[in-house]
Amino acid sequence: MTIGVIGSGSWGTAQVKILTDNGHRVCWGVRNERIREHLFRRRHNPQYLSSVQFDTSLLDVRLLPEEVISASDIVVVAVPSAYMEEVFAGVDPAALCMKKVVSAVKGMVPGRFQLLNDFLQEKFSFPLSSYISLMGPCHAEEVASERLSYLTFSGTDLPLAERIAGLFANSYINTVVNADVYGGQYAAIMKNIYALGAGIAHGLEYGDNFLSVFIANCAREMGLFLQKATSLNTGLTGEDLYRLYTSSVYLGDLLVTSYSLYSRNRTFGNMIGKGYSVQSAQLEMNMIAEGYPASRAIQKVNEKVRAYLPIATAIYEILWEKKSPEEGFRSIEKELI
pLDDT per residue as tens digits for the range 310-329: 999 999 999 999 999 999 99
Average pLDDT value over all residues in the chain: 94
- Domains with residue ranges and CATH for the chain: 3-179 (3.40.50.720), 182-333 (1.10.1040.10)
Query: What is the arithmetic mean of pLDDT over 135-140?
Result: 92
Q: What angle separates helix 310-320 from helix 325-333, to the nearest 10 degrees?
A: 170
DSSP 285: -
Per-residue H/E/C for 64-113: CHHHHHHHCCEEEECCCHHHHHHHCCCCCHHHHCCCEEEECCCCCECCCC
pLDDT per residue as tens digits for the range 198-225: 999 999 999 999 999 999 999 999 999 9
Query: What is the arithmetic mean of pLDDT over 46-53?
Result: 96
- Least confident stretch, 26-35, 49-58, 219-228: 219-228
**Residue 4 — left, alpha, or beta (φ > 0 → left; ψ -120 to 50 → alpha)?**
beta
pLDDT per residue as tens digits for the range 223-265: 999 988 887 666 655 555 555 676 778 999 999 999 998 899 9
Phi, psi of 137 (to 5 degrees): -75, 85
Close Cβ partners of 321 (under 8 Å, ≥ 6 residues apart): none
Using alpha carbons, list the distances in angstroms from residue 292 to 178, 188, 296, 303: 28, 13, 7, 18
Pairing relation of β-strands 131-135 and 149-154?
Answer: antiparallel
pLDDT per residue as tens digits for the range 160-206: 999 999 999 999 999 999 999 999 999 999 999 999 999 999 999 99
In a 3-state reduction of DSSP, which class is residue 189? helix
pLDDT per residue as tens digits for the range 56-112: 999 999 999 999 999 999 999 999 999 999 999 999 999 999 999 999 999 999 999
What's the pTM value of the predicted model, to 2 decimals?
0.93
> Is 334 annotated as catalytic?
no
Over its C-alpha atoms, the chain yields an Rg (Å, rounded) of 19
Q: Which of 191, 274, 300, 323 is catalytic?
A: 191
Phi, psi of 177 (to 5 degrees): -125, 135
Q: How far is CA 237 from the centre of its chain?
A: 24
